[in-house]
């Protein structure tokens, strides 16, 4: 499936002058805005701001996704997972698969690239002494793996 250009989030009218909106028919399933709206509706006591805070997403970013004024194809997988976790803490049933599909992306499985990127992201957040300790631990694990 070809991904829409995130810089062009609206579609032109097919027949100018038509009294209808300038939207193409929605693709099968929900986009992220529709999914988040439906899930938020299940917890009327919660707002977009509550979701942004709970999931660790800047409110203006979440609001732009909800208003379809910002593309969703490059959202960090961990952000999508944090949205799922926030909804689950509120008792709403949602799966990572639903969240990823709503952005038009396949659900990442246990891909080596994703694990490596996550490890590097975590490594960079550590102070230097902890980075060194992590490298030593990884080297020890690699040694044990070669012996086994």
Q: Domain residues of the chain, as ranges?
A: 32-102, 112-147
When pLDDT is cut at 50, 70 and 90, the band that residue 72 belongs to is confident
Reply yes or no on whether the pLDDT at 44 is more than 70: yes
In CATH, the number for domain 32-102 is: 1.10.260
Distance CA 8, CA 12 (A): 10
Q: Minimum mean pLDDT among 58-62, 106-110, 132-136: which range? A: 106-110
Give percent of the chain with pLDDT exceeding 90: 52
When pLDDT is cut at 50, 70 and 90, the band that residue 109 belongs to is low
The model's pTM:
0.57
What is the structure's pLDDT at 48? 96
CA 46 to chain centroid, in Å, comes to: 19
């Amino acid at each position: 499936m070809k991904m829409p250009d995130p810089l062009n989030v609206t579609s032109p009218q097919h027949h100018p002058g038509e009294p209808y909106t300038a939207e193409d028919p929605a693709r099968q399933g929900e986009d992220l805005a529709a999914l988040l709206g439906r899930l938020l509706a299940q917890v009327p006591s919660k707002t977009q701001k509550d979701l942004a805070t709970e999931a660790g997403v800047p409110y203006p970013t979440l609001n732009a996704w909800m208003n379809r004024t910002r593309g969703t194809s490059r959202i960090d997988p961990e952000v999508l997972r944090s949205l799922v976790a926030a909804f689950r803490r509120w008792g709403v049933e949602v799966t990572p698969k639903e969240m990823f599909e709503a952005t038009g992306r396949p659900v990442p499985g246990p891909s080596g690239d994703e694990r490596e990127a996550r490890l590097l992201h975590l490594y960079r957040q550590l102070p230097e002494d902890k980075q060194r300790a992590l490298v030593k631990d990884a080297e020890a694990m690699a040694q044990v793996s070669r012996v086994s």
